[in-house]
Structure 1
Amino acid sequence: MKRVVITGMGVLTPLGNDVETFWDKLVQGKSGISFIESFDSSDYKSNIAGSIKDFDPEATVGRRDVRRMDRYCQFAVAAAKMALEDASLVIDDTNAERIGVYIGSGVGGIQTILDNYRTLLQRGPGRVSPTVVPMMIANMAAAQVSIIYGAKGPVLAPVTACATGNNAIGEAFKLIQRGGADAVIAGGAEASVTDLALAGFGNATALAGRTDAPEKASRPFDAQRSGFVSAEGAGVHVLESLEHAERRGARIHAELIGYGSTADAYHIVATDPEGAGAYRAMAIALEDAGLAAEEIDTINAHATSTPAGDLSETMAIKRLLGKKSDQVPITANKSMIGHMLGAAGGVEAVGLIKSLQEGVIPPTINLDNPDPQCDLDYVPLQARKADVRVGLSNSFGFGGHNAVLIFKRYE
C-alpha cells in the first residue's frame, strides 16, 4: 500500500480566510462567532453564527461563474485554489487523469433552493433559474473544482452530514493507497447559515440559544453548554502518494496514516449515548494506522457543545485510551469556529496538522465550568506547547455517521 501525505491546505473559516490567519487566531483562543447579519434572526431561537467575512468570490472564480455557483460551492473552489497553490501542484495534460477530487457537503446549495422557491411562489415557474439544479446539488463543489482546475481522475462527493469532510479525506486516502490516483483534492464545504436551517436546527433544540455574548456561546465540555453554533466555510487538502510528492519535490505538511468509518445504527439525530460507534471508528483508524492507543499524542475532538454529544465522545475516548485517557490533550476547535457541518472535518484537519508541525495545541475556550462527567484534559482556555507526533481527528454526523482520521508528523 502506498504512503499518503498532505502537501497542500486551504481554508475559509470564521477566524480567517487563509491557513496562517486561521491558525494564529486558533492558538490565541479567539472566537469567530458573531451576530447573524445575513438575515433578520430576531424571531429565531438562535441569533449567532460563525460567518465567513471579507470573502470576494469574484476574485477566485470570476463574475460570470459566481452567478452559477451556490455560496458553498464558491467556498470549495476558493479553498481548493489555496490548497493547490500551497502544494505547488499544476494540473495539465500530463497528470490530469491521475488527479481526483473528493469534496463533499452536508447540506449542499440550500440558499439556492430557498431563493428559487421564493421566486417560484412570488413570480411563477417561468422565473425560476435554469441553473437551479446544478447550483443546489451537493456534488457540484467537487464537480466545479474538477472543471475549473482540470482534474480528470475520480470525482466523488460524500454526503454524511457532519462527518462529510473526514469521509472525503479518508476515502481519498484509500484511493491513493491502492493506486487509483496520484493525488486528490479533498475536503468539505458548507454554507448553511440560512433562515430555514437556523429555524430547523433551533426547533430541534440543537443550537445554543439567543445570547448577547456570541463569543461565549460555544462551550464544549462545559457544564453550561446548551448546543452548537452554526457556522460556514471550507477546508480542502491536497493528498498525494509519497512517491509522487517526492518525485516533484513537494513540501510535505504531514502524513495521513489511518482512517476509520462506522455507523451508530441508533437514531437519526441523537448519538449513541455510550459512544459505541465513535469508539469503533477510532479503533478501526488505529488498526489501519498500525498503532496502539498509547501512541496517540493528541485528539482534535468533534465536540459540538451539545450535552449528549460531548459526553458520549468523552466516553468513547476513555474506552479507546484506557488508563492513558487523562494524559492525552484534547482540543475542541468548534469552541472558536462553531460547527461547520460538512466542512468541519476538512478545517479541523488543518488545525491538527498545524499542531503536529508547530508543537502547539490550541485551547478549548469557554471551558469555565467543566462538566464533572467530562473529566479529560481538554486544554482549557490557553494553548499549550507539546511535542506531538501523532494526532487523531473525530467527526460524527446526524444519522450516526462516524469518521476518524489519524495524522503523523512527517519526518
Structure 2
Amino acid sequence: MSRRRVVITGIEVIAPGGVGKENFWNLLSEGRTATRGITFFDPAPFRSRVAAEVDFDPYAHGLAPQQVRRLDRAAQFAVVASRGAVADSGIDLAGYDPHRIGVTVGSAVGATMSLDEEYRVVSDGGRLDTVDHTYAVPHLYNHMVPSSFATEVAWAVGAEGPSTVVSTGCTSGIDSVGYAVELVREGSADVVIAGSSDAPISPITMACFDAIKATTPRFDDPEHASRPFDATRNGFVLGEGTAFFVLEELESAKKRGAHIYAEIAGYATRSNAYHMTGLRPDGLEMSEAIRLALEEARLNGDAIDYINAHGSGTKQNDRHETAAFKRSLGDHAYRTPVSSIKSMVGHSLGAIGSIEIAASALAMEYDVVPPTANLHTPDPECDLDYVPVTARDQVVDAVLTVGSGFGGFQSAMVLANPERSLV
C-alpha cells in the first residue's frame, strides 16, 4: 500500500552566530564557531564559563512588547522561527482548514531562563526560605508548563489541529519532527509546523552540568572549546536556539509549486533502558534506531552520503555513536563523511535535533558537507571521516542525522532527495 510522503518546504533557524537560515548556513559552511564566554550572567562561580549564545532582539523580529513581556526567551525563538518557516515555504495557510494544520514543538527544559529569573525575584536572591509569590510575573504559570510553547506557535500561525510538545531530552528536536511526519502520513493533518526550541543558558543549568562534569572547563579559549571527536575534548559547550519547518505531503507540495528541501523518509527512536546519563560502548540502541529509520526510508545503508552526528564532544558519546555507525552501516561507515555542527553552535539541548535537521537539509540543498570545527588531534577510537575544520563539496542526496539524550533516548532520521530511486 502506498503511503503519504512528507517533505520539508520551509525552514527557519535562530542559532548562535546569526538569526536566519542564511546566516546559519554561512557559519557552518565557513567552519566558523559561535562559542564565547558567557555574557548573560556572571559565570565566575562556575566550572564551565563558555556558551554559544544567540544575539537576538525580539523587537527587531516583529514581537510586540506584550509578547516580549509574556514569553520566555525559548518561546520567543519558537514564535519567530515558526513564522519564518511559513514565510520561507510560501504557503498560504489561510487557504487551509485550520483544523488540518498541526503544531509540534520539542523542548528539553522549557522556560528555564524565566523560571530561574523568577525564582531569584520571589526568593529575594535566594535569601528567603519561604518565597513571596506576590513578586512573580502574572504569566508564571505559562513558564511552568512547556505546553505553552505549542500554544504560542499555534496562535502565531493560526493552527487549530493537533498541537503538542515533545520533551525527550536532547532528542526532542528530532522526535518532535518525527511525530509531525506521522501526523501527515496518517492523515491527521495536511500541514504541520514542527521544530524545537530551548534557551537554557542560565545559572541553574550551568550548575547542573557542572555537577556531573558534562560541560567543558576550557574557558580560556572559548572559540575552540567545543571539540567533538578530538582526542583533547573534555565536554560540550551549552548553546541555545531553534529551528522550525513546514512539513506537508509531497504531491500537495508539488501541486502548489513549493520548493522542496528534502523528504523526511525515515525516523525511529529507541531507549537503552540502561542509565540516566551513561551509554553502552557498543552503540546497540542507536544502531537499532538507525537500522529502523533506513528500513522505513527503503534505503540501504550504503545510500547515505553524509552523517550529521550527535557529536557532543564528551568522551563516551563520541565513542558510542562511532560504534553505532559502524554497527549499522558496516564498511560504508568508513566511506561516509561524518560531522558535528555542535563544534560551531554548541549543544542547545532539546533544540539541537531540529537545528541539525536544518543543517542536513541545507547540506542537501547546497551539496556541501559542513565540517567538524576544532578537530585537529583525532581520537584513535573515533576513526571515521569526521570532515575536520573545512567544509567539503559533495553531492548529498541522503543524510542520516542522529541524536542521543539523557535517559537513554536514541533517535535517527533519514532525509532524502524525493526524486531518488527507492531500493
Tell me the TM-score range normalised by the shorter chain.
Answer: over 0.9
Number of paired residues? Answer: 411
1:380 to 388, 398, 406: 388
2:370 and 2:61 map into 1 onto residues whose CA distance is 31
Q: Is residue 255 of structure 1 aligned with residue 256 of structure 2?
A: no
Structure-2 residue corresponding to 1:26:
28
Aligned match for 2:84, one of 82, 85, 105:
82
Once the 2 structures are TM-superposed, how far is the Cα of residue 403 of structure 1 from its aligned partner? 1.5
Q: Partner residue of 1:153?
A: 161
Q: Which of 300, 321, 324 matches 2:332? A: 324
Equivalent position of 2:376 in the other structure: 368
Alignment of 1:10-159 (within 5 A): 10-57=12-59, 59-92=61-94, 94-122=96-124, 124-159=132-167
Contact between 2:151 and 2:163, CA under 8 Å: does it hold in 1? yes
TM-score (norm 2): 0.95
Helix, strand or coil at the partner of 2:248: strand
- Structure 1 runs (4+) greater than 4 angstroms displaced: none
Moved more, 45-54 or 91-100: 91-100
Higher mean Cα deviation, 272-281 or 293-302? 272-281
Give 3-state SS (helix, strand or coil) of 2:415's partner.
Answer: strand
How far apart are the structure 1 equivalents of 2:317 and 2:149? 29
Over 3 Å counting, the alpha-carbon distance change for 1:359 and 1:276 in structure 2 is same
**Which runs of 5 or more residues in structure 2 are unaligned?**
125-130
CA-CA distance at 1:93 after TM superposition: 6.7
AA partner of residue 335 (structure 1): S
Q: Say which of 292, 310, 318 aligns to 1:284.
A: 292
CA distance in 2, matches of 1:28, 1:196: 33
Contact 1:68 1:135 in 2 (8 A): no
CA RMSD of aligned residues (A): 1.3
Q: Is the 8 A contact 2:184 2:248 kept in 1?
A: yes
8 A contact 1:208–1:226 mirrored in 2: yes
Partner Cα distance (1:60, 1:346) in 2: 22
Give the letter aligned to residue 229 of structure 2. Answer: F
Q: 1:192-211 counterparts in 2 under 5 A?
A: 192-211=200-219
Residue 198 (structure 1) shift:
0.5
Matches within 5 A, 1:293-308: 293-308=301-316
CA distance in structure 1 between the aligned counterparts of 2:59 and 2:268, rounded to whole angstroms: 34
Pairwise mapping of residues 236-251 of structure 1 onto structure 2 (< 5 A)?
236-251=244-259
Query: Does structure 1 retain, via aligned residues, the 8 Å contact 2:191–2:248?
Result: yes
Secondary structure in structure 2 of the residue aligned to 1:185: strand
Using the alignment, how far apart are the partners of 1:272 and 1:79 within structure 2? 36
Once the two structures are TM-superposed, the CA of residue 57 in structure 1 deviates from its matched residue by: 4.4
State the SS of the aligned residue for 1:92.
helix
203-212 vs 153-162, which moves further: 203-212
For residues 69 and 49 of structure 1, the distance between their equivalents in structure 2, rounded to whole angstroms, comes to 22
Alpha-carbon distance change, 28 to 59 in structure 1, aligned in 2, over 3 angstroms: closer
Q: CA deviation at 1:10?
A: 0.6
CA 93–409 in structure 1, closer or farther in 2 if over 3 Å, else same: closer
- Could you state the TM-score of these two structures normalised by the residue count of structure 1? 0.98
SS at match of 1:56: coil
Q: Matched residues, percent identical?
A: 39
1:148: Cα distance to partner? 2.1
Amino acid in structure 1 at the alignment position of 2:288: R
CA deviations on 1:145-171 (whole Å, 9 max, x unpaired) are: 101221011001000011001000011
- Deviation digits for residues 237-271 of structure 1 (CA, Å, limit 9, x no counterpart): 11101122123221111111000111011111122
Determine if the alignment matches structure 1 residue 214 to structure 2 residue 214. no
Structure 2 counterpart SS, 1:270: coil
Residue equivalent to 2:180: 172
Residue 240 of structure 2 corresponds to residue 232 of structure 1: yes
Name the counterpart of 1:339: 347
**Which residue in 2 is equivalent to 1:3?**
5
> 2: CA distance between counterparts of 1:227 and 1:376?
20
Q: Is the 8 A contact 1:318 1:325 kept in 2?
A: yes
Shift of 1:216: 0.6
What's the secondary structure of 2:330's corresponding residue?
helix
**Partner residue in 2 for 1:393:** 401
Answer whether contact 1:222 1:368 (CA < 8 A) is retained: yes
